[in-house]
Amino acid sequence: MRWLIPLSAVPVLALLAYGFRVNPREAPSPLVGRPAAVFALQTFEGAPLALEAQRGKVVVLNFWASWCYPACYEEAPVLERNWRAYRDRGVVVIGVDIQDTPEAARKFVRDFSLSFPNARDTTGRVSVDYGVYGVPETFFIDRRGRIRAKHVGGVTDETFRTNVETLLAEPTG
Amino acid sequence: MIPELGSAAAIVALALALWGAAAAAAGAGTGRPALVLSAQHAALGVFVLVTACFALLSYAFLAFDFSVRYVAMNTNLGTPFYYRITGVWGALEGSIILWTWLLALYTLVVILRHRESARELYPWVLAVMLSVMAFFLLVITVAAPPFARLTPAPADGRGLNPLLEDTGMITHPVALYLGFTGVTVPFAFALAALITGRVGDTWITLTRRWTIVAWYFLSLGLLIGGWWSYHVLGWGGYWAWDPVENAAFMPWLTATAFLHSVMVQERRRMLKLWNLALVILTFGLTLFGTFLTRSGVIASVHAFTQGTIGAFFLGFLALVLLTALGLLAWRWDALGAQGELDSVVSRESAFLLNNVLLVAAAFTVFFGTVFPLLAEAVRGVKVSVGAPFFNQVNVPLFLALIFLMGVGPLIAWRRASPDNLRRNFLWPVAAGVAAAAFFWALGVRSALAVLTLTLTVFVAATIAVDFSRATRARLRTGERLLPAMGGLLRRHNRRYGGFVVHLGVLLVTLGVTGSQAWSVQTETTLRRGEHAELAGYRVRFDGLSASEESNHFKVAGAFTVSNGRVLGVLRPAKKFYPQEQSPIAGVDYRLGLREDVYLVLGDFARDGSHATVKLQVNRLVSWIWIGGGVLTLGAGLAILPERKKPA
């Protein structure tokens, strides 16, 4: 009978442990399932960057800023690494820098040797279209141009791969 | 170099704590004092090393060493000097260091005070304290390393969360953590009592002051948190039943229960098991609070971060609960009560009821806090539990507690005679009834407010009756009034310290009741020169000014406040921090005993032609803070060393 005392703690602990399985970062977004808003920006190198031009590819659209520590600093190498791994399989990573100064943003791109296209959202229109309320936020867009998932916080290898593999596995056309 | 030194110090401290815990336990088990002495030295070493960690991290902040991830996250070149220091504990990693340092400090004081006075328990107390310390050092070295590097190092840091740029950042966490870590001491004594089988009253007697100290700091932490929220967040409130506020409130409730139930054990040899369970529960709740704040499992305004740290805390919580409750079950047979409850109308039953109510309150708060998790686990839906639930359930419990606060101290032990009841409660009841009539006549129509105020007057009257009766008794021996009163407080400091604390709680209750029942507010857009009126106050909009501060841009409005005569100019502001998405409100207010005038700046035109302002007249809020001051006096009185009565 008395051993029920320590056992009584078990269900509470189990409930708390369950909390780890819930991911508050999988932010529900009304945009999921909707067509991704199109935009046309200019990359840091001055090249045109339009979302429409990527139709038929899986797009990982990432919003970042140079002042965003540590999440943006931690995910930048992840994005670069996975972009290199997946670019030949029809995946494109696009970085959009928001609420930033041009110098700090350029330094960020240089420091992390980011080779995927990055652009500044100077007017803030793109971030408004995507309902970005904090950086980093990442949208996974399928080949048909629909937003399929939204991730709040730094992207990890696992998040990147799971989402991208799912979208790649879907039949083309 | 500095960060590496810090990491190394933490690792060595961890090794020392582990060694110390093992040596103390082995020393206690085998009766070899040399081992205990070695553990003692280890504890001193831990204190020195954790102090060094703290100093090194502070240095990294002062030197703007942005190659340290934690520094880059929590400060920037514009951060004023003062907040560079408080930034050290502005987020997860540093706050764990502060926590560990305070724990090391408590361990040091325990060594100084108890190495002689508690021979049998002491080695185990040391073992438990060092084990807890080892856990926190493990967190520092593995799960949340404060000295981790960030490459490439950014040119400037992100800066402290602007809401943390406040004097509250010094006092609130320190007070709260002194409370949280302070609970470790009675917990360590309770475990030592269980392990050695000396479950009598020794551990209770030895830890009484420790419990009051921990309880006091918890109370102070909660009150300062309320004040902070009141003057920073700009919604005119001081408590929101946020999960993290709840996390600090739950151990406060169980610690309050414990403080009262120990008296029953001291006096009547009852509730041994209950007291041990309460202290285990209280310590468990402090860990749960930390888990909640740092695991990100439940959404909260205070949520620090996510990562492995939640799992660490949960694992440790499981270890603590299973071990401690297991020990409790193991000693079950020794924990029977010697005394018995003689009558329902007695002080022990009043205390018992007080305990039941406090624990019930803690349970409902716990339930409301984890309910979102439960709902998601069971039904897969995301819900949030708001203030209405907590208020509805807790208000009746607190009213009953206030009633007992009047009854408990004056009702007789064992069995109250009708004469005892008449003698002690006739006047207080009369005062309560008169108060009810008085408030009704004043036009107070809220039943809840009338009831609360009536109970408050009743309890205050019981304290007055007791004090005046005791004073008169001393006057009869020829003492003069003031020496008689002073002597009473000094010689019965425990009893009257408790009474003063009760008065403090009554004042807090008054403030809460007043602000809930009678505060008024309005929001209006004013052109320059126009004014708004509320509750007898006139607020005129005079214009806007903008200024560039070291780390933000500030737009402030000037509003002249008058109530017949000009009271002054309030300047609520909006502060724009580059790293924040939305501006931070800078509240301005004029505090008063009856009411506060409280202004929050809303939208404004860039040219300063018009501005929206939220005007609040918050009633009696100041009494919450005054109550906190009185509570401080009472707690101070209660922990003074007791003087033996002259023969």
Q: What is the tens place of the pLDDT at every residue in B453-483?
A: 999 999 999 999 999 999 998 899 888 888 8
| Average pLDDT over every residue of B107-134 | 93
pLDDT value of residue B302: 46
Containing H/E element for B126? helix B122-138
Does B318 contact A3 at a Cβ distance shorter than 8 Å?
Answer: no
* A69–B314 CB contact, under 8 Å: no
A67 closest CB neighbour out of B158, B306, B328: B158
The answer for residues whose C-beta is within 8 angstroms of residue B472's C-beta and 6 or more apart is none
φ and ψ at residue B53, rounded to 5 degrees? -55, -50
Inform me whether the pLDDT recorded for B607 exceeds 70: yes
CB contact under 8 A, B370 and A104: no
Position with higher pLDDT, A125 vs A172: A125
Q: Is the pLDDT of residue A168 over 50?
A: yes
Q: Are B28 and B36 in contact (CB under 8 A)?
A: yes
pLDDT at residue B120 in the model: 87
pLDDT tens digits, A59-115: 999 999 887 777 888 899 999 999 999 999 999 999 999 888 888 899 899 989 999
Check B578 against A5: CB less than 8 A apart.
no
Give residue-wise pLDDT tens across range A115-132: 999 999 988 889 888 988
Q: Is it the case that residue B645 has pLDDT exceeding 70?
A: no
Q: Is the pLDDT of residue B185 over 50?
A: yes
Provide the sign of the torsion angle of the four alpha carbons B479, B485, B486, B492, taken in this order.
Answer: positive
Give the closest residue to B375 by CA, choosing from B365, B387, B383, B385.
B383
Residues of B in contact with A17 (CB under 8 A): 314
Judged by CB atoms closer than 8 Å, whether chains meet at B314 and A17 is answered as yes
pLDDT at B559: 96
Q: Judge whether B84 and B71 are in contact, CB under 8 Å.
A: no
- Contact (CB, 8 A) for B287 and B309: no
Predicted confidence at residue A1, as pLDDT, reads 73
Contacts of A18 in chain B (CB under 8 A): 373, 377
C-alpha distance from A172 to closest chain B C-alpha (Å)? 33
Partner residue facing A13 (CB), from B69, B152, B314: B314
* Residue B383 contacts A where some CB pair is shorter than 8 Å: no
- Greater confidence, A116 or B199? A116
pLDDT value at B139 more than 50: yes
- Return the pLDDT at B590: 94
pLDDT of B298 reads 65
Question: A22 and B373 in contact by Cβ < 8 A?
Answer: yes
Supply the pLDDT for residue B464: 94
**Quick check: B304 pLDDT over 50?**
no
Nearest CA in chain B to A127: B581
Residue B413 has what pLDDT?
87
A-to-B residue pairs, Cβ atoms closer than 8 angstroms: 82
% of chain B with per-residue pLDDT over 90: 57
- Report the Cα B360 to chain-centroid distance in Å: 19
Considering only the beta carbons, identify the residue of B73, B299, B325 that sits closest to A70: B73
Contact list, B156 vs chain A (CB under 8 Å): 67
pLDDT at B380 (0 to 100): 67
Residue with the larger pLDDT of the pair B631 and B233 = B631
Condensed to tens digits (0 to 9), the pLDDT of residues B79-118 reads: 888 888 888 988 888 999 999 999 999 999 999 999 887 7
pLDDT of residue A15 exceeding 60, the answer is yes
| CA angle centred on B494, ends B488 and B495, rounded to 5° | 65
For residue A57, pLDDT beyond 70: yes
Nearest partner of B244 among B199, B206, B196, B301, judged by Cα: B301
Confidence of residue A27 (pLDDT cuts 50, 70, 90): low
Task: Report the pLDDT averaged over residues B401-410.
Answer: 91
Task: Say what the pLDDT of residue B303 is.
Answer: 42
User: Beta strand B573-576 with B566-570: parallel, antiparallel or unpaired?
Assistant: unpaired
pLDDT number for residue B647: 42
Minimal CA separation from B195 to chain A, in Å: 16
Residue A65, SS3 per DSSP = coil
pLDDT at residue B642 is higher than 80: no
Q: What is the arithmetic mean of pLDDT over B23-47?
A: 94
In chain B, helix, strand, coil percent, each to 5?
65, 10, 25
